[in-house]
């Protein structure tokens, strides 16, 4: 049995069984975080341009954009998936090196709106997308992550599985949806190693492509069922020929959606352990920028590869700059959306402190990646003191999770300025009771 068929058989069993209350609760948490990512992303590039391009597919259809405009399902998936990744605040599943929510939820929502699904049916589709795609990401492993942006590649499977779940596809059509999705999977890391608007489109395109694959499978379109594990399949072409035999071993027993990371800062998640360590030292020793002679950040290789800008000049570059976010944390005490506004981006004290920040790979920390995302920050003060903090996990990781209250605060902080505090509170309350809703009208902005 090929891996696509294993996932298809699981989907059949999944449709016939109830989900534990804990899993439904975590699905709601994922949705809350998705909206917290979606709303600030609406104002980011390239959303205005994308809305113009999609004009022929707007103001008709049963799905909705994040700004409330009606759209066809595929246009909504593309637009919302892009918006949910654009502000760099979306969730991640650490072991798959992957932001599942942006594409998976965008596709699940578009397919569910198009089908007139209930709130519970939508949440179930969402969970299915997470469970299938994260396992594909884990199998593809670190070799895949060397060149590929998993949110674009693995995200296509999250979208396909979620949309197939919303469409209630049987085991074989479900497998064919994944097989076709594999041929759509793309997204290169090089796209964001230069200042560019392409990165969020990876998530949007994954959402659209996965939805399309599921829609086609529902109409009888078949794919190569060995496309993941075949001799010229995804595993060989985009990884190191991994073993797929255990890909579905824990399905139905362990729910990956209960082990998500929710961002506690704004920016590239690879920088967050270093931010946490810097903030801990700042608080413990009441540090001010002028107190600091040198900052040494030791972490894992992908953090240096991806958060690579040592002297960022734009907001996009700053989000991917270990130097900038650590200096900002030490100078400001937080790294929020305002950190990427011109006033903070060009702040003289922060820019000066950046010149005193060095970053390097620690072999032991690197060896623990991707299962652990650690960083060590050492600060030498002008008075000659040596201050060190090892941050083994990031705030927001499963070991240090955001509480429901903290997640709500993040949602209200990021959505309130876009839709208003009252509407944000109403939406939040609706999500917490979504499993009891007959439809999805309450989710429309």
Peptide bond into 370 cis (omega under 30): yes
Cβ(299)–Cβ(359) below 8 Å: yes
| Other Cβ atoms within 10 Å of 425 Cβ, number | 15
| Integer Cα distance of 297 and 326 in angstroms | 9
Cα distance between residue 290 and residue 311, in whole Å: 20
Strand order of the β-sheet with 375-381 is 357-361, 292-299, 375-381, 386-391
Asked if residues 195 and 163 have their Cβ atoms less than 8 Å apart, the reply is no
The pTM (predicted TM-score) of the whole model is 0.97
Q: What is the pLDDT along the chain (445 residues), one digit of tens a residue?
A: 999 999 999 999 999 999 999 999 999 999 999 999 999 999 999 999 999 999 999 999 999 999 999 999 999 999 999 999 999 999 999 999 999 999 999 999 999 999 999 999 999 999 999 999 999 999 999 999 999 999 999 999 999 999 999 999 999 999 999 999 999 999 999 999 999 999 999 999 999 999 999 999 999 999 999 999 999 999 999 999 999 999 999 999 999 999 999 999 999 999 999 999 999 999 999 999 999 999 999 999 999 999 999 999 999 999 999 999 999 999 999 999 999 999 999 999 999 999 999 999 999 999 999 999 999 999 999 999 999 999 999 999 999 999 999 999 999 999 999 999 999 999 999 999 999 999 999 997 6
pLDDT of residue 444: 74
Q: At what angle do helices 404-419 and 21-41 cross, to 10 degrees?
A: 30
Domains and CATH numbers, the chain: 3-264+402-443 (1.10.4100.10), 269-391 (3.30.1330.120)
At a CB cut-off of 8 Å and minimum separation 6, what does 179 contact? 4, 222, 223, 224, 225, 227, 228
* pLDDT tens by residue, 389-425: 999 999 999 999 999 999 999 999 999 999 999 999 9
Nearest to 163 by CA among 227, 208, 203: 208
Tokens 């209200």, residue located: 412
Residue with tokens 């060397």: 146
Over residues 271-291, the pLDDT tens digits come to 999 999 999 999 999 999 999
Contact in structure between 178 and 128 (CB atoms under 8 Å)? no
* Chain CA centroid to CA 130, Å: 11
Q: How does strand 357-361 pair with strand 58-64?
A: unpaired
């Amino acid at each position: 049995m090929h891996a696509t068929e294993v996932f298809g058989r699981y989907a059949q069993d999944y449709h016939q069984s109830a989900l534990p209350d804990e899993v439904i609760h975590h699905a709601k948490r994922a949705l809350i975080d998705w909206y917290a990512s979606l709303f600030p992303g609406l104002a980011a590039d390239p959303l205005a341009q994308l809305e113009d391009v999609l004009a022929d597919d707007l103001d008709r259809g049963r799905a909705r954009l994040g700004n409330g405009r009606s759209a066809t399902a595929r246009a909504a998936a593309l637009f919302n998936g892009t918006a949910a990744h654009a502000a760099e605040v979306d969730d991640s599943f650490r072991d798959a090196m992957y932001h599942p929510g942006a594409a998976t939820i965008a596709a699940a929502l578009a397919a569910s709106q198009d089908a007139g699904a209930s709130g519970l049916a939508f949440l179930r589709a969402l969970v299915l997308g997470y469970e299938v795609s994260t396992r594909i990401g884990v199998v593809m492993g670190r070799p895949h992550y060397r060149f590929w942006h998993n949110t674009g590649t693995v995200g296509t499977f999250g979208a396909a599985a979620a949309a197939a779940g919303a469409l209630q596809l049987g085991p074989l059509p479900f497998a064919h949806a994944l097989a076709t999705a594999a041929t759509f999977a793309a997204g290169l890391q090089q796209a964001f190693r230069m200042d560019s608007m392409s990165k969020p489109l990876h998530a949007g395109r994954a959402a659209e492509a996965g939805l399309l694959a599921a829609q086609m499978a529902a109409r009888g379109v078949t794919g190569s069922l060995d496309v993941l594990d075949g001799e010229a399949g995804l595993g060989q072409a985009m990884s190191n020929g991994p073993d797929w035999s255990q890909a579905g071993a824990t399905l139905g027993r362990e729910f990956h959606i209960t082990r998500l990371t929710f961002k506690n800062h704004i920016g590239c998640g690879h920088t967050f352990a270093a931010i946490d360590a810097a903030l801990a030292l700042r608080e413990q020793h009441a540090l001010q920028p002028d107190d600091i002679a040198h900052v040494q950040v030791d972490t894992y290789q992908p953090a240096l590869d991806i958060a690579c800008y040592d002297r960022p000049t734009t907001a996009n570059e700053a989000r991917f700059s270990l130097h900038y976010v650590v200096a900002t944390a030490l100078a400001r005490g937080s790294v929020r959306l305002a950190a990427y506004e011109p006033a903070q981006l060009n702040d003289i004290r922060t820019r000066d402190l950046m010149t005193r920040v060095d970053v390097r790979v620690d072999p032991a920390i690197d060896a623990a990646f991707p299962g652990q995302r650690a960083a060590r920050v050492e600060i030498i003060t002008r008075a000659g003191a040596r201050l060190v903090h090892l941050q083994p996990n990031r705030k927001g990781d499963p070991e240090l999770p955001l509480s429901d209250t903290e997640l709500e605060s993040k949602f209200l902080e990021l959505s309130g300025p876009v839709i208003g505090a009252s509407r944000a509170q109403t939406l939040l309350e609706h999500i917490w009771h979504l499993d009891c809703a007959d439809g999805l009208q309450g989710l429309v902005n």
